[in-house]
Structure 1
Amino acid sequence: MNQLIRNMNFIFNGRLKLLSRFSTTGVLNTVVDFMVFTLCQSAIGLYYTTSQVIGYSCGVANSFVFNRKWTFERRNSDKNILSELIQFILVNVASLFITVVMMKFLVSNFNVNVYVSKIAATFTAQAVNFLLYKLWVFN
């Protein structure tokens, strides 16, 4: 048990701290996104692109709080929180655009299942997010 705790401490506070925290936050955001997406599309019957916008937006709200406070530890930043929020929103609007276009392309041109296309688009958008968060939003 002590070894497990030491390993977890190394992962979340050691050399892999930033990547492991970003990944953990991303998993949580993705869960929120997928739950809302599924609720909107399957239970309510909204079109999948509309469901994507709503689900993604809920994940983004969760993402800002966790990435700012935990992943990039921006508690007492000199940067105005409003500036960070605007930059964060711009990055996520770009990511939303990437996911919707990629999903539409995969579904329409290759008849890929909407959930499979969402997974592929999510991985692509997350790579873009990490780079822009680190280099621009939370620097």
Structure 2
Amino acid sequence: MKLVASITNHIFDGKFKSLSRFSLVGISNTLIDFIVFTIFQSLVGVSYTLSQVLGYSFGVINSFIFNKKWTFQGGKSNKKVYHELFQFIIVNVLSLSITLICMKLLVKDFNLNVYLAKIIVTFIAQVTNFIAYKLWVFN
């Protein structure tokens, strides 16, 4: 049990604290995103573009709360919450735009399955978001 606690502390509080915490928050965001995307895409019959916007939006709400409070330790920043939120929204609108463009290319031009395209664009969004959050939003 001590070994598990030691490994957990090392991963989430050690050298790679921000990256490991961001990854864990990202997993929860992705689950929320995929669940909402699937509900609207498959069950409700909404287009994959609108489903992407809805799923991504639900994930973004979760992301702001947990990345601010836990991943990047929001209390250390001198910025006001509304300023961080504004920057966060800008990053996510840019990221969402990139994912929509890439998703359209993958589905329409490369004939990829919509769910495989969703997985690919999720990775693209994660890289974009981590860099922007770390360097601009929560610094």
Give the TM-score of the pair, scaled to structure 1.
0.98
Structure 2 gap ranges (5+): none
Q: Which residue of 2 aligns with 1:58?
A: 58
* Preserved CA contact (<8 Å) 2:77 2:138: no
Post-superposition offset of 1:75? 2.3
User: What is the root-mean-square deviation of aligned Cα atoms in Å?
Assistant: 0.8
Q: Deviation per CA, 1:78-113, whole angstroms, max 9, x where unpaired?
A: 201000000000000000001111010000111000
Displaced runs of 4 or more, over 4 A: none
Q: Which residue of 2 aligns with 1:136?
A: 136
Post-superposition offset of 1:5? 1.0
Percent of residue pairs bearing the same amino acid type? 57
Q: Which amino acid aligns with 2:64?
A: F
Q: Which amino acid aligns with 1:87?
A: Q
Aligned residues: 139
Q: Secondary structure at the match of 1:75?
A: helix
1:126 counterpart = 2:111: no
Post-superposition offset of 1:76? 5.3
Q: How does 1:20-99 map to 2 (within 5 A)?
A: 20-75=20-75, 77-99=77-99
Post-superposition offset of 1:136? 0.5
Give the TM-score of the pair, scaled to structure 2.
0.98
